[in-house]
Every structure is written in structure tokens, then in C-alpha cells.
Chain A
């Protein structure tokens, strides 16, 4: 059987690269992944937070940040987030 890769192994391979985090709410983050734990709490660097509101998208720049895993919905490795072309 072809070698399996577990979901958290996939995230582990993303350490050091850019990642796009989509929350359960209308909130998204991009940043460089420094690490994470079993709850998928994540440490990110050079972070941009995107808040999508009826008034438009609000961007916030952050330095090193610990993101609570409780509200994370989806992770997209190697992406620059909602403003990337791909």
C-alpha cells in the first residue's frame, strides 16, 4: 500500500512555509508557520489577519502570534491567502 500521510504530518511539513488559515467565522490569517500542537494551536510569524465584514475586508498586520486552534476551520499550505491570485 502506498505510504499514508496523516493530516497533522501534512501540517508538520508546512513548518517554515507560508500558510493560510481560515476560521469558522469570517476571519482568515496568513503567516509563516513556526509550530503547532495537538490542538492545532498555531504559532505564526509575519501575520496578516483578514476580517470580512459587510463594509469590506479589514487587514491587520501582526508579529509573532499564537492562534487559538479552537476556531480554526481549514488550513491551506503555501498560500498567500485571500489576496493571492491562485
Chain B
């Protein structure tokens, strides 16, 4: 029956998908762009963690790979994987061009 087979939606009726937009610069855009890149994470204590950002969430909880712990510019520890609880994070800085 005709009623059981609705016509396919007219694709012209839908707006075109947005172009792959340049990052507008909000925190969310920054975080999307920086996943998989080398980053410097500084905690409020002043300790730095440098590594590859594998993932993170809205709390700024962070998972890093190939992590180096820096205290006063000196490497004090290396970790294969590290999880950082977001409340300690002062900033996340890109360590390679985005």
C-alpha cells in the first residue's frame, strides 16, 4: 500500500551540513583539536605532566600517554599511562602545533 511506504525525504528540504568549520576557539573546540597531540598539563601545585593526550572529559579529567612528570623543569618520573583528576588541573597547553 502507498501509506506503508512513505516517499523518501526530499534531501533538498534539509539544510546542507555545516562545512568543516575552523575552530571558533571555545574550550570545547580547543579540547577537540588537542586530543592525540603532545600537551603540557600543569597542576595547581606547579607540577607539569607532558605527554600525548589520549582523552579527557568536561571535568578536565585527563588520560595521558608517554607521560613525563616535571618538577621545576626536571624530569622526576615517567609513566606509560597516567590519569589526572580534573580538579587539580591549572591548564592544558598544546606542546605542538594544532
**A interface list, Cβ under 8 A from B:** 15, 25, 27, 34-37, 41-43, 47, 51, 62-68, 70-71
Contacts and interface: CB of A to CB of B under 8 A. Distances in A.
Contact of B90 (A15, A36, A68): A68
18 contacts: A15-B25, A34-B25, A35-B29, A37-B26, A43-B25, A51-B46, A62-B91, A63-B94, A63-B95, A63-B97, A64-B30, A64-B93, A65-B92, A66-B31, A68-B89, A68-B90, A71-B44, A71-B90
B40 interface: yes
Interface residues of B, number: 23
A85 B87 CA distance: 35
B27 A37 contact: yes
B24 interface: yes
Given A25-B44, A64-B98, A68-B60, A43 B27 contact: yes
Q: Which of B28, B44, B93 has the most chain A CB atoms closer than 10 A to its own CB?
A: B93
Interface string B69-98: 000000000000000000101111111011
Q: Which of A37, A43, A65, A66 has the most chain B CB atoms closer than 10 A to its own CB?
A: A66
B90 A66 contact: no
B96 to A, nearest CB: 8
A43 B98 contact: no
A40 to B, nearest CB: 10
Contacts of A43: 25-27, 29-30
